[in-house]
Amino acid sequence: MAWVNAVIQGILTGGLYALFACGLSLMFGVMKVVNLAHGDLATVAGYVGVGVIAATNVPFLWSVPIVVAIMAVLGYVLQRSLLQAAISRGELITLIVTFGLSIVIENGLLQFFTANTRGIGTGSSLISASFSIGSQITIAWLDVVIFGLAIVVLLGLQYFLSGSKYGRLIRAVADDREAAQLSGADYRHVFGIAAGVAFATVALAGISYGMTTVIDPTSGTDTILLFAFAAVVIGGLGSLWGTLIGGIVLGVAQQIGAQINISDELLAGYIVFLAVLVIRPQGLTARRSES
Amino acid sequence: MSAMADTTLRSGEKLRVTRSRRNVAWTGIGAVLIVVILAAFPYYVKSGVLVIMIQGLIVLALASMWNLLAGYAGLVSVGQQAFFGLGAYFLLIPAMHGLSPFAALPIAAIGGGVAGFPLWWLVSRLRTGYFAIATWVMAAAILQLIERFQSIGGGSGLPLPGLVGYNPAVLTADTYWAALAVAVLAMAAVYVLLRSRLGLVLTAIRDDERAARSSGARVGVARLLVFVVAAAGCAAAGGVEAIDQLQVTPVGGGGVFSVQWTAIMAFAVIIGGLGTIEGPIVGTIVYIVLQQTLQSHNAWYLIILGLVAIGIALFARRGLWGLLDEKLNIRLFPVGYYLWTPGQSRRRRRNGSVSAGTDVKAGSAS
Amino acid sequence: MSEAVAPQRRVDSGTPLLEVHDLVVHHGQLRALSGISLRVYPGEVYAIIGANGAGKSTLLRTIAGLHRPSGGSIVYDGKNVTGVRPDKRATAGIVMVPEGRRLFASLTLEENLKVGATYARPGPWTIGQVYDLFPWMKERRNQRTAQMSGGEQQSVAIGRALVANPRVLLLDELSLGLAPVILQRIYGMLPRILASGVTVLLVEQDVSQAMRVATHLQCLLEGRTTLEGRPSDVTAEEVEAAYFGMGSSTSADAKSPVRSAPDVEGGEA
């Protein structure tokens, strides 16, 4: 039964990974940016959450929208300034700039918060509680809540992209930037909106992550970025729900790996990721055709 | 020594293409002189300075390799720490079996290069962004693998055997010479590669990969070669680091598999000048200066290094060396070409100022 | 065969809606336009013709704001817009239907129109009006445009531009990839478009088609103007000479682009 537990755990963790991944997928789908600082931004959100709670003593649930709003604005600003400048100078420069950003963020966090790990105290006993199905399956409520959150976020994103004015604009700009300009759309503003949305999801992901485990300045690249990217790649780029599938596959693979050998958890995930990269290169090497 | 090619203009006149420096000999002599002077350092320079220089030479070797990858082959790898770490372990293992660490350095280099082949097969088909992430995953996966082997220290590493009983001053000097050798060889490798036909292929790739492929250039081979050479170079540097640290630790602040190493080599290259051979030298100097002034255990020097690198990547694409180059028009390592239109001769070129000859800098990023 | 469009009379007095002065445009080192000038008056159909590579599309794209000229200026409604971004020009009323249609592939027909309407100026054109113009669109409004025929896509592209309520509508090579019958049906829409107060500046390789709809004609060759005038004022030989850039000593076999019958593809060899 430990295996069933592992699979269920993996599926639920997949929700968290999908939360990490959807922002990355959005930014790559729209701006063609592989944001190497993505994971670190989730960590920043986690730290901002810690900071907000500590500074204002608001109940945990209040801090969430505050952090999300801060990160969304940060996303818009960062996109319009730094990232746009990098994008207009090419893929190479963009990679270098986002890599540099990642290192600066990590070391910045290290400098100001030290390497000590932090957790987000939620002050609610609900979070650490778990329930049981039958006699041998235990599921933590928190994991279910986060999975539910992931579904809600993905649904929200889907509705936003398909039904709203900016969602349409984002898809249009992603399809054909020039044609969108000819229709009066300032693509840089649209990019900014997309980045704001992506950062908002990253914020939720970072806070959720901070609730499930402790975070430290290097969590961003050690774990989050790789998991996010793995979920995107495994699930298939360009598909929002694909990130959920990818996340689930990754989560399950990790849990199965952990069952085999407790220290194999991460390695199992990497192997699956690399296997997908090798076996399905056509999905990754083919560029979205630029009109 | 000048490689000349003849091309014919539409009008039937002939164009000549020559190396951008007549006196390659001078550069060669100059380089040898510098190396000789550097090699003599342990005889009249303090140990403390030598230790700093060892760090600098390691970074110089790494930077040359990253520059080769990103500046010439368009391969942005953020996982080079994989080879750096592998090199350290490929040094550790023979040392554990009795070989002197210094003698094991070539093994580390070769081991790294050999490891480059299967890893290249994994990542070679990926485009820029995916390639970067794949290299990062690759490094993380290799770290996980290494940590599982308790025999080589698992997660906490091992001290490097074979260095006990060494006279400290002699050890420092020997380490210094090893570092110098690795750095010189790394830069020499880059120089030779770029002066060869491969250099043109690489520049072509960087400028327009599809066009390069369709013109018949052996793009795949060129990139593979670059990847393997960079792997070997980073591995050799990792070996020197192991000797310098007297131990091999996989993770932690100075851990050989830490992404900080890639950050350092990348930033050094960007700041110094991506796509120029001289760039890594300038970048390494900047790195050492920053590291020394801000104390190496502080995270600040990496923050500043990173911010400066971002700024230069955006606003001074060719780095500090590029800025210098524009002002003074020097080239230490002649890998470029001059294009002479008919009727031009060297004498006229020196007298006339704005010539019709176009300086085609094969050694620099556009 | 649909009926020919009766050319409107050109009002030569008053202020031109759109002016281009000595435009010079480079593509890298290549000079695509060497000093092009033109004047477009309100209500007219201004056609730019010329062979492949003559610079026609470059001219239109520069007017739309997608290329920055190296020299010269563009004046719209009395204001210099040479340095204005393409999206700002669109919201000001210069809307282009680009070459190759360039529809948003992952969007449905109606979504394409909606995007066009997002930053629309006030005016008579709505999505409903576009459905009136092209009744077939109503049933297929939720279809992806990628599966549609060339003519249908072209109609959607025109509709997308119309809902923005342009003052100057730029049409770039409508004829590419379209059967002549379809093309004529599309050009048959012009009267209604003009009637709503839109001025049209179009680029066309099919010279006979252009001659049929235009109130004013300009021929480009290798980035320069070789001919300009009303269709009624120029002869077939003049057009041919301007088009090809040589004396009209063409062989007897070669089709003159002007003389080809309307239901045959435009006469480029």
Residue B209 pLDDT class (50, 70, 90 cuts): low
B54-97 pLDDT tens trace: 999 999 999 999 999 998 888 999 999 999 999 999 999 999 99
Summary mean pLDDT of chain A: 85
CA separation for the pair B98, B161 (Å, rounded): 8
For residue B12, the model assigns a pLDDT of 57
The pLDDT of residue C104: 95
For residue A211, give how far its alpha carbon lies from the nearest alpha carbon of chain C (Å): 37
Length of chain A: 291
Q: What's the whole-model pTM score?
A: 0.85
Q: Which residues in chain A have their CB less than 8 angstroms from residue B126's CB?
A: 277, 281, 284-285
What SS3 state is found at B359? Answer: strand
How many Å lie between the alpha carbon of B257 and the closest alpha carbon of chain A?
12
Measured between CB atoms, which of A168, A181, A291 is closest to C87?
A181
| More confident site: B341 or B317 | B317
Q: Assign residue C65 a region: left if phi > 0, alpha if psi is -120 to 50, beta otherwise?
A: left
Does B144 contact A107 at a Cβ distance shorter than 8 Å? no
Radius of gyration (C-alpha) of chain B in whole angstroms: 21
Cβ–Cβ gap C65/A181 under 8 Å: yes
What integer pLDDT is reported at residue C20 of this predicted model?
95
Question: Per residue, what are the HEC states of chain A?
Answer: CHHHHHHHHHHHHHHHHHHHHHHHHHHHHHHCCCCCCHHHHHHHHHHHHHHHHHHHCCCHHHHHHHHHHHHHHHHHHHHHHHHHHHHCCCHHHHHHHHHHHHHHHHHHHHHHHCCCCECCCCCCHHHHCEEEECCCEEEEHHHHHHHHHHHHHHHHHHHHHHHCHHHHHHHHHHHCHHHHHHCCCCHHHHHHHHHHHHHHHHHHHHHHHHHHCCECCCHHHHHHHHHHHHHHHHHCCCCHHHHHHHHHHHHHHHHHHHHHCHHHHHHHHHHHHHHHHHHCHHHHHCCCCCC
**What is d(CA A104, CA A116) in angstroms, rounded to the nearest whole number?**
18
Query: Tokens 């000097």 appear where?
Result: B173
The pLDDT score that the predictor gives to residue A281 is 54
pLDDT score at C196: 93
Residues 112-131 of A with CB under 8 A from C: none
- Output the pLDDT for position B337: 58
What is the residue whose two structure tokens read 């336009």?
C33
Flag if C102 and A179 touch (Cβ within 8 Å): yes
Amino acid letter, C261: A
From the list A273, A284, A285, which residue is nearest B137 (CB)? A273
Instruction: With a cut of 80, say whether residue B104 has pLDDT above it.
Output: yes
Cβ(A240)–Cβ(A28) under 8 Å?
no
Give residue A48's pLDDT: 83
Question: Does the pLDDT at position B5 exceed 60?
Answer: no
The top-scoring range by mean pLDDT among B238-242, B287-291, B296-300, C3-7 is B238-242
Shortest Cα–Cα distance, C150 to chain A (Å): 16
The residue that leads in pLDDT, B180 or C184, is B180
pLDDT, averaged across chain B: 82
Query: In angstroms, rounded to a whole number, what is the distance separating the alpha carbons of residues C142 and A162?
Result: 12
Give, for all 269 residues of chain C, the pLDDT tens digit. Answer: 344 444 455 556 678 999 999 999 999 889 999 999 999 999 999 999 998 888 899 999 999 999 999 999 999 999 999 999 999 999 999 999 999 889 999 999 999 999 999 999 999 999 999 999 999 999 999 999 988 998 999 999 999 999 999 999 999 998 888 888 888 888 998 999 999 999 999 999 888 889 999 999 999 999 999 999 999 998 888 888 888 887 544 444 343 344 333 433 333 33
Is C104's CB within 8 Å of A185's CB?
A: no
Q: Give the per-residue pLDDT at A286.
A: 35
DSSP B188-210: HHHHHHHHSHHHHHHHHHHH-HH
Q: Specify the pLDDT at position C11.
A: 58
DSSP B313: H
Report residue B107's pLDDT band, with 50, 70 and 90 as the boundaries: very high
Choose between A136 and C57: higher pLDDT: C57
Name the 3-class secondary structure at B338. strand
Identify the helix (H) or strand (E) that includes residue B267: helix B259-272
For Cα atoms A180, A181, A186, give the angle at the middle one, nearest 5 degrees: 105
How far apart are alpha carbons B333 and B187 in whole angstroms?
Answer: 10
pLDDT at B340: 59
The distance between the two most distant Cα atoms of chain B, rounded to a whole number of Å, is 74
pLDDT, residue B47, reads 84
Q: Which of C20, C151, C23, C172 is nearest to C96 (CA)?
A: C172
CB contact under 8 A, B122 and A93: no
Which contacts of A75-79 are long-range, i.e. CB under 8 A and separated by 24 or more positions? A75/A192, A75/A195, A75/A196, A75/A197, A75/A198, A75/A199, A75/A200, A75/A202, A76/A192, A76/A193, A76/A195, A76/A196, A76/A199, A77/A192, A78/A195, A78/A199, A79/A31, A79/A191, A79/A192, A79/A194, A79/A195, A79/A196
| Whole-number pLDDT of residue C259 | 31
Contacts of A165 in chain C (CB under 8 A): 114, 118
Structure confidence at residue A166 (pLDDT): 96
Touch B-C: 3+ C-beta pairs under 8 A = no
> What's the pLDDT at B325?
78
Evaluate whether A110 touches A44 at the Cβ level (below 8 Å).
Answer: no
Give, in order, the Cα–Cα distances in Å from C268 to each of B182, C51, C94, C226, C254: 65, 8, 30, 18, 9
Spatial strand order in the sheet of C71-76: C30-40, C18-27, C71-76, C79-80
Distance (Å, whole) CA B64 – CA B193: 12
List of chains touching C (3+ CB pairs within 8 A): A
Using the predicted structure, report yes or no on whether residue B39 has a pLDDT greater than 60. Answer: yes
pLDDT of residue B348: 41
Domains, chain A: 2-279 (1.10.3470)
Q: What is the pLDDT of residue A285?
A: 35
- pLDDT above 50 (res B250): yes
| CA distance linking residue C20 with residue C6, whole number of Å | 26
Query: pLDDT band at A223, cuts 50/70/90?
Result: confident
- A78 CA to chain C: closest CA distance, Å? 22
**Tell me, what's the pLDDT at C14?**
77
What confidence category does residue A72 fall into, taking pLDDT thresholds of 50, 70 and 90?
very high
Query: What is the predicted pLDDT for the residue at C93?
Result: 95
Q: To 10 degrees, what angle do helices B259-272 and B319-328 make?
A: 10
CA distance A130 to chain B (A): 31
User: In whole angstroms, what is the distance from residue A72 CA to residue A258 CA?
Assistant: 35
Query: Is it the case that residue A290 has pLDDT exceeding 80?
Result: no
Write the residue in B141, B298, B310 that is nearest to A97 by C-beta. B310
Q: What is the pLDDT of residue B363?
A: 38
Q: Spell out a b/e string for B116-130, using b for 16 or more CB atoms within 10 Å of the CB, else e.
A: beebbebbbbbebbb
Q: At what angle do helices B101-123 and A265-279 cross, to 10 degrees?
A: 50
**Helices B101-123 and B168-195, packing angle to 10 deg:** 40
Give the chain A residue nearest C170 (alpha carbons): A182
Average pLDDT over residues B307-333: 83
d(C-alpha A198, C-alpha A37), whole Å: 12
